[in-house]
Amino acid sequence: MTIIKNDLFLRACKRLQVDRTPIWVMRQAGRYLPEYRAVREKYDFITMCKTPELAAEVTIQPVELIGIDAAIIFSDILVIPEAMGMKLEMIESKGPKLFDPIRNIDQIKQLKQIDPYKDLKYVLDAVAMTKDQLNGRVPLIGFAGSPWTLMTYMVEGGGSKNFSEIKKFIYNQPEAAHKLLDMISDSVADYLSAKIESGANAVQIFDTWGGILSPSDFEEFSLNYITKIISKIKREDEPVIVFAKGVHYNLSELANSGADVIGLDWTMTLGDVRKSIGDKVALQGNLDPTILYAPKEKIKAEAIRVMKSFGKGTGHVFNLGHGILPDVNPENLKYLVDVVKEESKLFH
């Protein structure tokens, strides 16, 4: 087993003592980097996901170019619906499209339960190759979408403005919805276990669309399945992070899901959340991603505000409150990383 030289991220996830706060950034392997765009000019997005050499290359870019404390494997949450049998395309400047969206039980019966070692072997190969090339410099994070967020894409067929199709589906066909959530949950649990077995040091579950549900619907259609997945993941001490965007209300329920770390978006005050659930879980976040458009003094002041809000001691993984935007100047991210590395020493 490779020894990880910079293990600050894993230590903070487990709330062990650190001498500074670690930082990584959602969507750090992406279009804001000219080096990513250079690879992307030659290959389409899905080819990049399916070619371990290319996935490894862009996964490592932010570690080498920006000095990030953890790598996250380059892939997408929608590889699971594709592996279950749906046709996926990334439409240029529009986002993902899943063809023949799911609207009834017959379509659900046509979907298959995945075997990650067969159907998503290319991701596992990318994880193993990246792990090898990182050679212990920083930990590697694996990820999946939550069942709720994946079902939302599978029913809407892509992004959505008001989520009418998924809401019609859960309110008119709740049994079919729960059947589909169960199938996706089994696939996600097996997939995350396989990623850990292939070398991921931590895994994150993205519940991007948790926040479109009322508190009780969140519990019924999202949280229950996240909790079930966490209990099924085969792991030793690899931390599980849950990022549920816009979920203000069920934070204490989320903290009881078995997750080691809860990711927060930028609309919450880190210090308040720490007071309510900080004795149960570590917290990740939560700088507003658009702060990276601001001048350096503003970036520094806001980064310090986030760290001050969390306060002294371990249990904080610095991150943005959602993914980095494609038109951010990479220099500004580098500046943020340097500020966090330097200024966070005061809090430990």
In the block, tokens 């396989």 appear at 194
**Which string of b and e fits 64-75 if b means at least 16 CB within 10 Å?**
ebbebbbbbbbb
**From 32, 36, 153, 191, active-site residue:** 153
- Judged by CB under 6 A, the stretch of 28-36, 192-200, 249-257, 304-312 that binds ligand CP3 is 28-36
Q: Note whether 185 binds ligand CP3 by CB under 6 A.
A: no
Q: In the annotation, is 76 catalytic?
A: yes
Of 316, 267, 315, nearest to 289 by C-alpha is 267
Burial of 235 (0-12, 13-18, 19+ CB in 10 A): middle
User: Of 166 and 274, which CB lies nearer to ligand CP3 in the complex structure?
Assistant: 166
Residue of 253, 323, 343, 348 that binds ligand CP3 (CB under 6 A): 323
Q: In the annotation, is 31 catalytic?
A: yes
How far is the CA of 212 from the CAs of 94, 148, 197, 242, 348, in angstroms?
21, 10, 33, 16, 37
Of 114, 88, 86, nearest to 102 by C-alpha is 86
User: Of 260 and 265, which CB lies nearer to ligand CP3 in the complex structure?
Assistant: 265
Whether the bond between 201 and the residue before it is cis, its omega within 30 degrees of 0, is no
d(CA 182, CA 108): 11
User: Of 143 and 310, which CB lies nearer to ligand CP3 in the complex structure?
Assistant: 143
Min CB(129)–ligand CP3 separation in Å: 15
Interface characters, 212-231, with ligand CP3 (x: CB under 6 A): --------------------
- Judged by CB under 6 A, the stretch of 90-98, 101-109, 111-119, 273-281 that binds ligand CP3 is 90-98
Min CB(77)–ligand CP3 separation in Å: 4
Residue of 40, 121, 179, 334 that binds ligand CP3 (CB under 6 A): 40
User: Of 106 and 327, which CB lies nearer to ligand CP3 in the complex structure?
Assistant: 327
What residues between 139 and 158 interact with ligand CP3 by CB under 6 A? 143
Q: In the annotation, is 11 catalytic?
A: no
The one-letter code for the residue type at 66 is I
Q: Note whether 72 binds ligand CP3 by CB under 6 A.
A: yes
Ramachandran assignment for 315, one of left (phi > 0), alpha (psi -120 to 50 degrees), beta (any other): left
Q: In the annotation, is 27 catalytic?
A: yes
The one-letter code for the residue type at 220 is E
User: Of 38 and 346, which CB lies nearer to ligand CP3 in the complex structure?
Assistant: 38
SS3 content of the chain, % helix, strand, coil (to 5): 50, 10, 35
d(CA 309, CA 147): 32
Binding stretches for ligand CP3 (CB under 6 A): 26-31, 40, 45, 72, 74-78, 90, 95-96, 143, 159, 206, 208, 323
Q: Catalytic amino acids?
A: 27, 31, 40, 76, 153
